[in-house]
Amino acid sequence: MTRPARSSRKRVARSRKREGSSVVAGSFLPRSFIRLTLYVALSTACVLLLIAAMVLFNYDRFAARYDITAVGRLPLESTVTDATGQLVGYLHGENVGTPVTLDQVSPYFLKALVAREDTRFYRHHGIDHRGLVRAWLRNFREKRTVQGASTLTMQLTRMSFGLTGRTMQRKLLEMALARRIEKNFSKEEILTHYVNRVFLGTGMNGIEQAAQGYFGKPASDLTLPESAMLAGIIRAPNGFSPFRNYAAAHREMRTTLQRMAHEGFITEAEASIWESARPEVLPQSRWMEMLRQHAKISEQNHLLKMVADEVGAMFPSLAGVGGLSVKTTFDSRLQLAAEDAVAKHLVAIEGLASFPHPPYAAHREGDPAYLQAAAVIMENFSGAMRAVVGGRDFSHSAFNRATQAKRPLGSIFKPLVYGAAFERGLFPGMHVSDGPIKPGEIKWDRFGWSPDNADGVFGGMLPVEIGLIRSRNTMTARVGERAGIEHVLAMMEHAGLGAAERAEPSATLYIGTVGADLRGVTSAYTIFATGGIRHEPYFIESVTDRDGSVLYQHEDKNYRVLSPGATWLTSNILKKVLEEGGTAAGLRKLGFSAAAGGKTGTTNDFHDAWFVGYTSRLAGGVWIGLDRPVSIMDGAYGGRIALPVWNDIMTAAQRIGYEFTDFAEPEEVIAMELCRESGRLASEDCAASRNVYVEQVPHDLIPRKFCKTDH
């Protein structure tokens, strides 16, 4: 074979040397690519670390808001009283267990607890990073959550601060709080707080209570199998309860013994010997009797849930600690009267031959399909809520229909439309057409909406007040247009009914297609008794901690919604709604004689029946319907089925001692000649065309210009 020339070999060698300057030995990747990859990887890692640091910093700052000393305070019941000082019930911590020190707990249980729940407890600082990675990898493999990574400290965080849910936000907060706990408490203190708080099923809180309840002995005397069984049920205390499922509890006992042997707390031989043991569990009836004798348990209801939710939101760090004294605005006497009125009248409705739905008495399980009702009573000049009926039976449904359900308001929204129009120059004696809405009459309406009246009849030109007294839809739509949709929307928001309709307003809003809850609309009606001032509704008067320190004291929040003059004009019409010819004339026939105003409401196909009314002191709202919006029955008008409930509640309020006086009059009201079409001061042309009438005009609404309309 012919060898290449020496000069050729040198050229090849130099060429390879040059190529070697841009490649890595044994690789075909250019060095520039390697450097770029490393740069990108390092940059990405730095960005991720920075993001992680920012997230941790944010949650550390959030965790700093929590009172860390709450960890060391064992739970106590929180008492809830009404405005008169009468006990309403208890909140969290009703059954608080018996606190013990670590030397009063069997060493077997402490070892079983660490072996089963947190083997690295004495080596981490609140977060077991190895456990986190291990759990994440396993969950990723299984494509579901099969393993958690909560340390004992993180579990104590949940117990102390009432953290619930399985969101990433909750987990990060839990970690941040766990780090704070580790900095402020020793391992022995953390373990002490844990064993006194841990829930062990069937209303048992803490190891001492569980030892007494399940085995009839103090925690210090627990045997190895008993300790292993209790430590084993922590992850699902009700599901693994020895009372309910002894086989599952025994299985968890064996698993715990194996874990103890694996971690070196006991020998393999001991684990094998004790795996066959069957600890004797005492009857559940014995424990339930003990619970009845010693625990402070309240029957849950909508009021207590409202208070628990509000206090939990106000003081999240105290949710699991308790020991609070919560004074509410509720009046237990009026509350009982409201509940009785709802129950009595709904049973009567269910007894009608025309009622097509299953009655309350037939309910057995599942979501209630029977007729529901809600009621709210509040003070006009403070916003204090005196009574709230959220439904017929809390044990069937915890959903609060007075504060959580948003239903179409129907005609009870109309007074706000009229109030807005009165502020814009309309007066009750002016004329408005009751005829059909013509195409293009509401210029901004893209759908050509034209409502019917409830009686199917259209009229001619009628006084504005007739539109509200008789709840005429076509007149109300025209009144709304005189006010302007923007002003009606603003009035709705100022009255506390939300801004959901502002995004895409519809002309149908004028006749009450807006959805709101009963508390909100009842609060809106208080302005007709206060001269236009709305006081934010509330039901927590004060909160005091176990040491007597005042944590919260209510301060009145109020603002003007409607001018005094427009409020007075609207209220005068709402009084007439209760008289002969009005939609709520039945109230006087029922015997209610105090000065009052109000409005009935009935939505399409009788899905919702409303009555909201007010006296000089109290405003009250009643809603009746089914949770799934369907027709209640034919003829289920608000004036027929909701009004009698309101009557009974307000009559009871008078018996209790609430005084209803006449409404205050404006300082100055002047009889003036106005033009019936324009609402301005009448001119000679108005007189010539017979459009002059006399209106009682509040001082703040006196027109400043003469009518120039060509009649």
List beta partners, residue 492: none
Which residue has better confidence, 618 or 56? 618
Q: What is the pLDDT of residue 57?
A: 60
Look at 55-64, 94-103, 614-623, 648-657 and tell me which has the smallest mean pLDDT: 55-64
- Is pLDDT larger for residue 332 or for residue 98? 332
pLDDT at 238: 87
Please list, in sequence order, all residues whose beta carbon lies within 8 angstroms of the beta carbon of residue 314, skipping any fewer than 6 positions away.
Answer: 540, 543, 551, 552
Distance of CA 600 to the CA centre of its chain: 27
pLDDT of residue 202: 87
Tokens of 239: 């599901």
**Residue of higher predicted confidence among 199 and 6:** 199
- Give the CA count within 13 Å in the CB-facing half-sphere of 402: 30
* Contacts with 340 (C-beta within 8 Å, 6 or more apart), sequence order: 648
Burial class of residue 526 in the structure, from the number of CB atoms within 10 Å of its CB (0-12 exposed, 13-18 middle, 19+ buried)? buried
Give the model confidence (pLDDT) of 157-170 as tens digits. 988 887 777 777 77
Percent of the chain at pLDDT > 90 equals 71
Above 90 in pLDDT, residue 229? yes
- What string of H, E and C letters represents the secondary structure of 207-223? HHHHHHHHHCCCHHHCC
Q: What is the mean pLDDT of residues 559-573?
A: 97
Compare 143 and 384 and report the one with higher pLDDT.
Answer: 384
Rounded to 5 degrees, what are φ and ψ at 121?
Answer: -55, -45
Span 274-282, average pLDDT: 96
Q: Which residues of 64-88 are buried (b: 16+ CB within 10 A; e: fewer)?
A: eebebebbebbbbbbbbbbbeeeeb
Q: Are 386 and 330 in contact (CB under 8 A)?
A: yes
Are 178 and 155 within 8 A, CB to CB?
no
* Parallel/antiparallel/unpaired status of strands 431-433 and 461-463: antiparallel
Q: Which pLDDT score, from 0 to 100, does residue 159 have?
A: 86
Q: Which fold has domain 95-295?
A: Penicillin binding protein transpeptidase fold (1.10.3810)
Of residues 594 and 133, more confidence is placed in 594
Instruction: State the DSSP string of 288-336.
Output: HHHHHHH-------HHHHHHHHHHHHH-GGGTTTB--EEEES--HHHHH
Quick one: what percent of the chain has pLDDT higher than 70?
A: 88
The yes-or-no verdict on residue 68 having pLDDT over 60 is yes
- The C-alpha angle 345, 346, 351, rounded to 5 degrees, equals 95
The pLDDT of 582-596, averaged and rounded, is: 96
Rounded CA-CA distance 474/618 in Å is 31
Task: Please enumerate, as own/partner, the contacts of 120-124 that have beta carbons within 8 Å and a separation of 24 or more.
Answer: 120/151, 121/151, 121/152, 121/153, 121/187, 121/191, 122/187, 124/151
pLDDT in tens, 355-393: 999 999 999 999 999 999 999 999 999 999 999 999 999
Is 60 exceeded by the pLDDT of residue 435? yes
Closest listed residue to residue 326, CA positions, set 309, 338, 341: 309
CB 320 within 8 A of CB 159: yes
The pLDDT-based confidence of 293 (bands split at 50, 70, 90) is: confident
E strand map for 136-283 = none
Nearest to 111 by CA among 195, 50, 26, 43: 195
What is the value of pTM for the model shown? 0.76
What beta strand segments (E) does 360-405 contain?
372-379, 385-389
Q: What is the DSSP letter of 42?
A: H
Average pLDDT over residues 414-427: 97
**Position 17 pLDDT exceeds 80:** no
Residue 474 phi, psi (nearest 5): -65, -40
Nearest to 563 by CA among 586, 532, 537: 532
| DSSP conformational letter for 160 | H
Say which amino acid occupies 667. Answer: E
Q: What is the pLDDT of residue 135?
A: 58
| pLDDT recorded at residue 218 | 96
User: Strand runs (DSSP E) across 472-615, as ranges?
Assistant: 515-516, 533-535, 540-544, 550-553, 558-560, 597-602, 608-614
Q: Which of 615, 640, 613 is nearest to 624 (CA)?
A: 640
Tell me what pLDDT residue 442 has: 94
Check if the beta carbon of residue 233 is closer than 8 Å to that of residue 201: yes
* pLDDT, position 4: 46
Highest mean pLDDT among 144-158, 495-509, 634-648: 634-648
**Domain ranges within the chain, ordered by starting residue:** 76-94+297-358+369-405+517-563+631-661, 95-295, 406-514, 669-701
| Whole-number average pLDDT of the chain | 89
Give CA–CA dist 325/354, Å, rounded.
48
Least confident stretch, 38-52, 294-308, 433-447, 475-489: 38-52
Provide the 10 A C-beta neighbour count for residue 31.
12
Q: Which fold is adopted by the domain 76-94+297-358+369-405+517-563+631-661?
A: Beta-lactamase (3.40.710)
pLDDT band for 56, please (50, 70, 90 cuts). Answer: low
The predicted-structure confidence for 499-528, as pLDDT tens digits, reads as follows 655 657 889 999 998 889 999 999 999 999
DSSP code, position 77: P
Query: For residues 430 and 421, what is the distance between their CA atoms, to the nearest angstrom?
Result: 12
CATH number of 406-514: 3.40.710.10
Q: What is the pLDDT of residues 173-216, one digit of tens each?
A: 888 999 999 999 999 999 999 999 899 998 888 999 999 999 99
Intrachain domains 76-94+297-358+369-405+517-563+631-661 and 406-514 with the same fold: yes
Q: Is the dihedral of CA 640, 642, 645, 651 positive or negative?
A: negative
Distance of CA 291 to the CA centre of its chain: 31
Please state, in angstroms and rounded to a whole number, the distance separating the CA atoms of residues 707 and 711.
10
Mean pLDDT, residues 255-267:
96
pLDDT at 59 (0 to 100)? 67
Spatial neighbors of 298 by CB under 8 A, at least 6 apart, are: 89, 90, 94, 304
Report whether 598 contacts 574 (CB < 8 A).
yes
Task: Provide the CB-side half-sphere exposure for 607 (13 A, CA).
Answer: 14
Instruction: Residue 541: count other Cβ atoms within 10 Å of its Cβ.
Output: 17
Model confidence over 112-136: pLDDT tens digits? 999 999 999 999 998 887 766 665 6
> What backbone phi and psi angles, to 5 degrees, belong to 524?
-60, -35
Reading phi first (left if > 0) and then psi (alpha if -120 to 50, else beta), residue 451 is in beta
Are 428 and 573 in contact by the 8 Å Cβ rule? The answer is yes
Q: Two tokens at 142?
A: 């299984």
Lowest average pLDDT, out of 56-70, 322-336, 585-599, 656-670, goes to: 56-70
Euclidean distance between CA atoms 533 and 518, whole angstroms: 19
pLDDT exceeds cutoff 60 at 220: yes
Q: How far apart are CA 152 and CA 193, in angstroms?
A: 10
Residue 10: the pLDDT is: 46
Strand ranges in 434-477 using DSSP code E only, listed in sequence order? 461-463
Highest mean pLDDT out of 68-82, 304-318, 562-576: 562-576
Report d(CA 200, CA 239) in Å as an integer: 10
* Residue 12: pLDDT over 70: no
Alpha carbon distances (Å) from 149 to 115, 118, 337, 350: 14, 9, 51, 53
CB atoms within 10 A of CB 165: 7
Which of 58-62, 535-539, 665-669 bottoms out in mean pLDDT, i.e. has the lowest?
A: 58-62
CB contact at 8 A, 600 and 637:
yes
Which DSSP letter does residue 633 get?
Answer: -
Does the pLDDT value for residue 74 go beyond 90?
A: no
